[in-house]
Chains A and B, each alone.
Chain A
């Protein structure tokens, strides 16, 4: 909001004229957005508006049909999610992307397993200890780091996915309906956590269907309707009525 400062924070993410179609179906039409470090932008829109698709484009799961993505000032062309992840982007996907039969700690370190010794054995002790520390810090109440994901409640699963993403993120966190399965208290906890990402100077893009939540958390709100970018508003300069009418088109 304070654009007077000389040292303007650089855009972490810049999307320019992103377009994505699946076969004949246009999912995203001409989408542009800048995201600064320490900024939280909310992405809202009705079901099927293209929100998840946009997140997957940023995280490298999909490549845009046309348009450019710049990350940290450089144009990027992520071939897959691995590359985006290596650049410091973490995602909480709508389906959480957890391996259900594996323990919590193995999910926390999925694709980043720690090893020890000359034989590169999995360092389970270390991974378990770090996971326990992490879930304690974030107040995710799970029985133990060794619990199998399948035995957790929906909210606990979501907690694990959020803890994983926020722990590893270096630059940008993408959250696709992170509180969809959560109770009141848990939602409050996640919102506190998301707000705290600002202090770590991370950029956050959060999808939510709860306008209350969006207004509590975000600096700016971006509205999508059937793949079209309807507009971006500064949260303090708009209200729910305006956002609702932008979402619904009436």
Chain B
């Protein structure tokens, strides 16, 4: 691990690690699994569809991490949002279903944000607690039952539909990445997020409203998790308390490997997208290789460990 880190320092690999990792994994699976259907258009499209929710969660997490905070609760937000949306869709028209899902996400983000930004509680502990809190609420909401989503406009819009042959999940991914990238890279808000995560005191004395920035990043993350919940509900045509539950590690890994700093001040949306696609490809390949679930977990854990070790090594630290 030390040698690997040194090598990566020498070649200044850190900023490209996600692209190199993506290519290496792709080539590896293309060679070893070429005959098992890895390269078929169907499989590749499937990877893109499966990663849509994680990519969107990753976008939200980039904002949070870049601002020097963390959100562990987004997985629970996904479940609560998806359930809220599914329940409302059972009785109300489309618009209210969407509103319920997104609104719940933003509201939980707001709740996290108040505690983190204005009461100055550490976001790690706040969201560790709200992760449990909302996971519990997701379970009680429908007594562990899954809720079917029968509204076909909804399932087209957030699941199986397509526009000019492009699946709607891919369109959502492209749209969210484009918007996220624009806001993060091109606006004052993005600059303030980075400054806040980098040196909050410097940001504060420079006139940046640091608490407001912290509040907003938690809300952005909640909104992204809410949208991810809608995409899960749309694709699976049902909502269940388990949605998003197992995405925590995948999303954090995607974002960190993508080049966002765990301690703030640095982030990239495009890197997070590629990181998320890489994680999706990894999951897909390991399944096609016929590994058992436990072996998949072990291999995935090891690969994440290597990638994170390389990403976190910085030339000047």
Residue in B closest to A60 when the chains form the complex, CB atoms: B205
* Residue contact A122 to B188, C-beta cutoff 8 Å: yes
Distance between Cα atoms of A111 and B201 in the complex (Å): 12
Let me know if A71 is at the binding interface, CB within 8 A: no
Q: Which residues of B contact A72 (CB under 8 A)?
A: none
Complex interface: stretch among A25-33, A35-43, A78-86, A179-187: A78-86
The answer to the question of A100 belonging to the interface, with a C-beta cut-off of 8 Å to chain B, is yes
Within 8 A of A (CB), among B182-201: 182, 185-188, 190-192, 194-195, 198-199, 201
Contacts of A239 in B (CB 8 A): none
Q: Check: B45 CB closer than 8 A to any chain A CB.
A: no
| Residues A110 and B186 in contact, CB atoms below 8 Å apart | no
Give the distance to chain B from A54, nearest Cβ to Cβ, in Å: 16
A99-B194 in contact given A80-B204, A81-B207, A120-B188 (Cβ < 8 Å): yes
B186–A102 contact, CB under 8 A? Answer: no
Chain B residues with a Cβ under 8 A of chain A: 182, 185-188, 190-192, 194-195, 198-199, 201-208, 261, 265-266, 316
Instruction: Given the known inter-chain contacts A97-B199, A98-B202, please indicate yes or no for A121 contacting B191, CB distance below 8 A.
Output: no
How distant is B224 from chain A, measured CB to nearest CB, in Å? 21
Give me 17 other A-B pairs in contact (C-beta within 8 A), A98-B199, A99-B194, A121-B187 excluded: A61-B205, A97-B206, A101-B261, A101-B265, A101-B266, A102-B195, A111-B195, A111-B207, A113-B191, A115-B187, A119-B186, A119-B187, A120-B187, A121-B186, A122-B190, A122-B191, A150-B316
Interface of B is mostly: helix
Q: In the assembled complex, which residues on chain B have CB atoms less than 8 Å from the CB atom of A119?
A: 182, 186-187
* A101 engages B194 (CB within 8 Å): yes
Cβ-defined contact, A99 with B187, below 8 A = no
For the complex, what is the distance from the CA of A151 to the CA of B206, rounded to whole Å? 21
Query: In whole angstroms, what is the CA distance A91 to B206 when docked?
Result: 10
Would B203 and A110 count as touching, CB distance under 8 A?
A: yes
Bound-complex Cα distance A61 to B204 (A): 9
DSSP majority for the A interface?
loop
Contact A97 B186 (CB under 8 A): no
Scan residues 107-163 of chain A and give those whose CB is less than 8 A from a CB of chain B: 110-113, 115, 119-122, 150-151
Chain A neighbourhood of B192, CB < 8 A: 111
Pairwise interchain contact A110-B188, C-beta atoms closer than 8 A: no
Closest to A97 in B: B202
Is the pair A115, B265 in contact by a Cβ cutoff of 8 Å?
no
* Contact (Cβ within 8 A) B205 A93: yes
